[in-house]
Amino acid sequence: MTESNVKSGCKKPSGKLAVLTIGLGAVSTTFMAGVELSRKGLGKPIGSLTQMGTAAFGKNDVCQKKMIKELVPLADLNDLVFGAWDVVGEDGLTVARRSAVLNDRDIAACADFLKAIKPRPGIHDPAYVRELPVDNAMKAQTAAEKVAQVRQDIREMKKELGADRAVMLFTASTEKYHKPGKAHESLAAFEKAIADNDPSISPTMIYIYAGMLEGCPFINGTPNYSVDLPAIQELAKKQCLPMGGKDLKSGQTMMKTVLAPAFKARMLGLRGWFSTNILGNRDGEVLNDPEAFHSKEVTKTGVLDTILDPNEYPDLYGDYHHMVRINYYRPRGDEKEGWDNIDIMGWLGYPMQIKVNFLCRDSILAAPLCLDLVLFMDFARNQGWHGIQEWLSFYFKSPNVPAGHVQENDLFIQLTRLKNTLRVAAGEAPITRLGLEYYGDDLPVCDK
């Protein structure tokens, strides 16, 4: 969805919105707890565009700014209710305490809320995710049975939560890297593969297929295949549902999408970019499996080429070396540390270096992205938009785009596209000439 084909006119959402997370881990419980603390007035949703961001609109002489949540009608935080699936049976409070992302005071302030969130049995396939303790796996055996169970779970959770609509958010473990095949090329082939219990149908694919049959927009916060499959895109069109992915852009990759555009803007060359991380949460444990890490590696390493455009600037970016590593280090927990060594070159090819040491909290960075994506995906559904929501590329490491579109990874271009889509949806003009807007239509010309 881009600003060129957005029709203005916003429908007001009403009723409870069920946020159904696949995975009840550090990211999802931090997100849920943050929503509860924010609506109690015990914390601020820092990092969330929908709650704290603004957008400019109007002419320069009467330019105004509005909070994004006032520019377009989004679901209120008080209307969010939560359900989940997980292959580990711990309730939200137990997970939050074990994950140790939030301090004891914040956990205590929302303990009853978290304790009430008990995951339904999740889909586990050891062929896709190996490094997990599993005690709450779904009993359904075949792909078709699992689809039926997920659909039933969605209906029951909506009823229990008093919600009339739902959004699904995938924050579970990264699956091993695998390439799509013939079973994913069309909806007919995909449905036959489900009926045949084809092993190429992964847990992530089952969730998105079942969710869309139940009318749920889908957000893929991992590198797992789902939104990008032609079969799923065909289903989204058929069901008139929005979706987006993949892999939440939170820490190290966010920094790359900020720094790389600066190098290109100043025509500084790049010789190499080495990135490594140490991480001790369950995500880090799963990524200790080389096959799972390769899925993450693909999304983390793909951003530079699309930003720097080596084909257009071969002297600057035609031969750089890009390497990414993730190391599981249990004592670090959720407090990830990312190191970047960047070898750049300037005038006459002289070498220079930039070092970045990002001491971040993985789930603290991801939680506001989850909130924004849930609210924006619900908004898109309310507008009747369907398919890949390209305007939400701002949130993903490797954003899915419609066929024939070029993936954009420059964070600032992504933000402009996002806000322009909202401006047009609100009946305002998009900002398309940022450098000229101050002057209006014509630049001042000296008459001497």
- pLDDT at position 223 is 92
34 HSE (CA, 13 A, CB side): 24
pLDDT in tens, 194-237: 999 999 999 999 999 999 999 999 999 999 999 999 999 999 99
Provide mean pLDDT across the span 396-404. 91
Provide mean pLDDT across the span 47-54. 97
- Would the CATH topology of 3-248+363-425 be identical to that of 252-359? no
Provide mean pLDDT across the span 65-88. 96
> Taking the domains of the chain in order of start, what are their residue ranges?
3-248+363-425, 252-359
Residue 143 has pLDDT above 90, yes or no: yes
pLDDT in tens, 93-103: 999 999 999 99
- pLDDT at position 116 is 98
pLDDT in tens, 270-299: 999 999 988 877 766 666 667 666 665 666
Residue 8 has pLDDT above 60, yes or no: no
Residue 260 has pLDDT above 90, yes or no: yes
359 HSE (CA, 13 A, CB side): 1
Q: Class of the 3-248+363-425 domain?
A: alpha beta
- pLDDT at position 2 is 45
Q: At what angle do helices 26-39 and 92-99 cross, to 10 degrees?
A: 110
Residue whose pair of structure tokens reads 């024939």 in the numeric block:
404
- Which of 84, 401, 414 minimizes the C-alpha distance to 246? 401
| Element containing residue 328 per DSSP (H, E) | strand 321-328
Provide mean pLDDT across the span 388-411. 93
Q: Which residues, 6+ apart, have CB-to-CB distance to 121 below 8 Å?
A: 85, 87, 89, 136, 137, 138, 139
pLDDT in tens, 117-138: 999 999 999 999 877 789 999 9
Look at 242 and 406; give whichever has higher pLDDT: 242
Residue 21 has pLDDT above 60, yes or no: yes
Contacts of 376-379 spanning 24+ positions with Cβ under 8 A: 376/50, 376/74, 377/167, 377/217, 377/218, 377/219, 377/242, 377/243, 377/244, 378/13, 378/17, 378/74, 378/75, 378/165, 378/167, 378/217, 379/13, 379/72, 379/73, 379/74, 379/75
Average of per-residue pLDDT values in the chain: 90
Instruction: For residues 98 and 91, give the distance between their C-alpha atoms in angstroms, rounded to a whole number.
Output: 11
Tell me the whole-structure pTM to 2 decimals: 0.90
Provide mean pLDDT across the span 157-181. 94
Least confident stretch, 2-11, 313-322, 390-399, 436-445: 436-445
The edge-to-edge listing of strands for the beta sheet with 321-328 is 321-328, 269-279, 337-345, 351-359
Residue 431 has phi, psi (to 5 degrees) of -90, 115
- Which of 77, 80, 85, 69 minimizes the C-alpha distance to 25? 85
335 confidence band (pLDDT: 50, 70, 90): confident
- pLDDT at position 432 is 67
- pLDDT at position 113 is 98
Residue 321 has pLDDT above 50, yes or no: yes
Q: Which residues, 6+ apart, have CB-to-CB distance to 116 below 8 Å?
A: 91, 92
Percent of the chain with pLDDT over 70: 89
Domain over 252-359 is classified CATH 3.40.50.300 = no
